[in-house]
Amino acid sequence: MKKILFAAAIAVSSAALASMPTHAADLAYKSAPIMQAAYNWTGFYVGLNGGGGMASADHLDPDGEFFTNTKFQQAFGTVGVQAGYNYQIGSAVIGLEGDYNWVGLDKTKLFDLDNGRGSTANFKFSEFATLRARGGLALDRTLLYVTAGVAFAHIQNTDAFDAFDNQGRPQTPCCIAAEDKWKAGLAVGAGVEFALSQNWSVKGEYLYMMFEDYEAPLLNHRDGTRSCTGNGINAPTLTNCRMNFTESAQLARLGVNYRW
């Protein structure tokens, strides 16, 4: 009887010892932390943005016929849409983004010619679009990037000479130099984007844009011929009847993107 009880005790002990590694492994498996996969920025996205900035426009008389140069420094607000694609390689992210934006800027200034008559200069900046490459460093859900590409802006500049007489009363301008066109330029900037979830992200961005110069002929308001009014004397034989227009803008904006 003692031998039977001894043998049974040995069998139970052996079974218990045999089962201990399995239980230990189960406990180790259950207690191991679950590792989350790093965020991946690869994919297409669309979004909205809004912000504001400062636009500059120079109305320059390159020949000194009118002895007048006018400079605009004007704040503006903007809202827009964007779309793009990112591709992540390790911690590096490269991509391409395009945007279209509306701007509310319309400013008019008065200036005097040397003949004492008042004239007006007007600067309008109504919309712009960019197509830019982006490159940056992904720190999991945070993306630091720089961007550069081409910019296009719809800009209007107008100089109306002799728009007021010597007493300041409005009158039909004698001649006008103007542009109303989409102008090409360059855009450079930098930003930071943060992923809120797998699909949604928010960003902050700074952008500087500089546009091509434009030389506008000064045209007689009555018949459209080229003319000059230096010292108040019409001089249609002069060839240097022109104004140069140059523009640039810098802006800061916030945006939200949906990625898939």
Tell me if 252 sits within 8 A of 51, measured CB to CB: yes
Q: pLDDT-derived band of residue 115, with 50, 70 and 90 as boundaries?
A: low
Single pTM value for the model: 0.76
Rg of the chain in Å (alpha carbons): 34
Question: What is the tens place of the pLDDT at every residue in 59-93?
Answer: 988 776 665 678 899 999 999 999 999 999 999 99
Length of the chain: 260
How far is 159 from 219, CA to CA, in rounded Å? 11
Mean pLDDT of 100-124: 82
61 token code pair: 């008389």
Amino acid at 17: L
How far is 239 from 241, CA to CA, in rounded Å? 6
DSSP tag of 230: G
201 token code pair: 């992200």
How far is 210 from 106, CA to CA, in rounded Å? 19
Tell me if 41 sits within 8 A of 88, measured CB to CB: yes
Q: What is the pLDDT of residue 54?
A: 96
* Main-chain dihedrals φ then ψ at residue 85, nearest 5 degrees: -145, 135
How far is 109 from 119, CA to CA, in rounded Å? 8
Please, what sign has the CA dihedral across residues 16, 18, 19, 20?
Answer: positive
Please, what sign has the CA dihedral across residues 75, 182, 129, 132?
Answer: negative
How far is 227 from 224, CA to CA, in rounded Å? 9
How far is 153 from 103, CA to CA, in rounded Å? 10
- Given a cut of 70, whether residue 120 has pLDDT beyond it is yes
Question: What is the tens place of the pLDDT at every residue in 148-192?
Answer: 999 999 999 988 887 776 666 777 777 788 899 999 999 999 999
DSSP tag of 60: E
Give the CATH class of 40-259: mainly beta
- Given a cut of 90, whether residue 4 has pLDDT beyond it is no
Closest CA to 94 of 37, 146, 149: 146
